Amino acid sequence: MTLENTRPWLPASVRLTAISSAAIERALLILAALFVGTGLVLLTLLARLSLVAGLLSFVVWAASFAVTHILLGRFLPERDPLLLPVAALLSGWGLVEIARLAPAFLARQTLWLPICLSALLAVTAAPRDLRWLRRYRYTWLFGGLLLLAATLVVGVNPSGASIARLWLRAGPLSLYLQPSEILKLLFVAYLSSYLAEKSELITTVGPRIGRFRLPALPYLAPLLVMWGLAMLLLASQEDLGAAVLFFFTFLAMLYIASSQAGYVVGGLGLFLAGAGVAYRLISRVALRVDTWWNPWPEASGRAFQIVQSLIAMGTGGIIGQGLGQGSPTVVPVVHSDFVYAAIGEEFGLIGTLAVVILFSVLILRGFRAAMHARAPFAQLLGAGLATLIGLQAWVIMGGNARLIPLTGVALPFLSYGGSSLLSSLIAIGLLLQVSDRQLPGR
């Protein structure tokens, strides 16, 4: 039975588009499966992974994305056909890297995958007008802030350390949820909803200084208060990476909504001033800035991690040492903070550029979906999510390559961590919603 016969209520042009989109997505998912399967087979042949563990991980990955692909055909027949395959390839590559770098954590990451894809499907099955997200922006954001605040009281660290207790234990399966990852998405949704309603008032009401119009404080105040609460909680946890993402996402979305470059200039000035104060007062910030500026005098001490990352990426050359052939585990916490360096060592420059290209595709398709949306909320939501994914990927990749100080955030899809995978796949689900051509108001 053809798709045309199963959806006779759709116009012929829509049915043809749905068929071609589904075919493109299916073909790309098959290519992703070949890559992931080959990687796991190689690790098995090199005796770095047991046959059972490798087979089980691949079956769970392939079955989860196959079911997601089938169900998306019902929920979002005219979705962007590139978003899911790119997410599948990156998350599958992440499983290969975890199997290579920290096989003890492979089962837990594999268990997270169907949970995260179930969340993606729940998002795409929700009402397409996104009213459920837009109208209850304060409820969603306050819920996220309460979860984040709970870590100050009952927070844990999966490693057992008494510092950086940024996680909440989720259920009896030893799964841990990092609320800041979920709060990022809720914050973008809040910004999108508020700016969609108030952006005109923010940019047209208020005193002028030359060409630049100062924002009207009564309309901008709620935005600043909610952002300030989030930043205060993150600062109290010393979760500096998440704080940086929140700040620049806020700045980018304010610019997208207002088209006023003055916000960017002023925001960067405030960031530099705040960074200078943090450097003086917070030892962790000072450590990361010092080891970024000149790591070599302490290459065997405080800067050991970043120096080993640079050595790993330099050793990879153009084509890399080959999967399972390098020594990326010399880098501390390589499966989480430095997975990009591991890819650079064993896949070489080609592999690192491939990662950059894949994230670029996600960002560009996200902005494309936003540009084609008619509803202001959908436009800002798509642009905000694409910005968030791009900023997070750039921050950790730039840190691994010593282009910027290391911030400790996870590389979306690729780094070990269920919370990061959950937030990344929910973001993909929302982008799929925005990209669907049948979205009301398009």
Span 381-423, pLDDT tens digits: 999 999 999 999 999 999 999 998 888 788 999 999 889 999 9
In-domain check, residue 174: yes
Structure tokens at 213: 């119009």
pLDDT confidence tier of residue 197, bands split at 50, 70 and 90: confident
**Residue range 314-335, pLDDT digits in tens:** 999 999 999 999 899 999 889 9
Q: Is 225 a residue whose pLDDT tops 90?
A: no
**417 is written with which tokens?**
């961590």
pLDDT of residue 233: 66
Domain assignment present for residue 440? The answer is no
Output 170 or 268, whichever has higher pLDDT: 268
- Cβ contact 430:423 at 8 Å: no
376 — phi, psi (to 5°)?
-55, -40
Work out the number of other CB atoms within 10 angstroms of the CB of residue 159: 9
Q: 200-217 burial string, b = 16+ CB within 10 Å, else e?
A: eebbebbeeeeeebebbe
Report pLDDT digits (tens) over 175-190: 788 888 898 999 999 9
| Residues of the chain above pLDDT 90, percent | 48
Q: For position 219, what pLDDT does the model report? A: 59
Is residue 278's pLDDT more than 50?
Answer: yes
Pairing between β-strand 168-170 and β-strand 175-177 as defined by DSSP bridges: antiparallel
Q: Which domain holds residue 305?
A: 3-435
Is 441 a member of any domain? no
Instruction: Look at residue 9 in the predicted model and tell me its pLDDT.
Output: 42
Overall average pLDDT of the 208-231 stretch:
64
Position 154 pLDDT exceeds 90: no
pLDDT, mean over the chain? 85
Q: At 441, phi and psi to the nearest 5?
A: 90, 0
Cα–Cα distance, 329 to 343 (Å, whole number): 11
Structure confidence by residue, pLDDT tens digits, 23-73: 999 999 999 999 999 999 999 998 888 999 999 999 999 999 999 999 999
Q: What is the pTM of this model?
A: 0.90
For residues 89-118, average pLDDT: 95
Residue 398 CA, distance from chain mean position: 15
**Residue 13 clears pLDDT 90, i.e. is over it:** no
Q: What is d(CA 376, CA 382) in angstroms, rounded to the nearest whole number?
A: 10
Sign of CA pseudo-dihedral 316, 322, 323, 324: negative
Give yes or no for residue 105 having a pLDDT over 90. yes
Asked, for residue 442, whether it belongs to a domain, the answer is: no
Beta strands in 233-272 (DSSP E): none
Most confident of 82-91, 231-240, 275-284: 82-91
Q: For residues 305 and 187, give the distance between their C-alpha atoms in angstroms, rounded to a whole number.
A: 32
User: The tokens 């890559």 sit on which residue?
Assistant: 35
* Rounded average pLDDT over 357-366: 96
162 domain-assigned: yes
How many domains does the structure of the chain reveal? 1
pLDDT at 101 over 90: yes
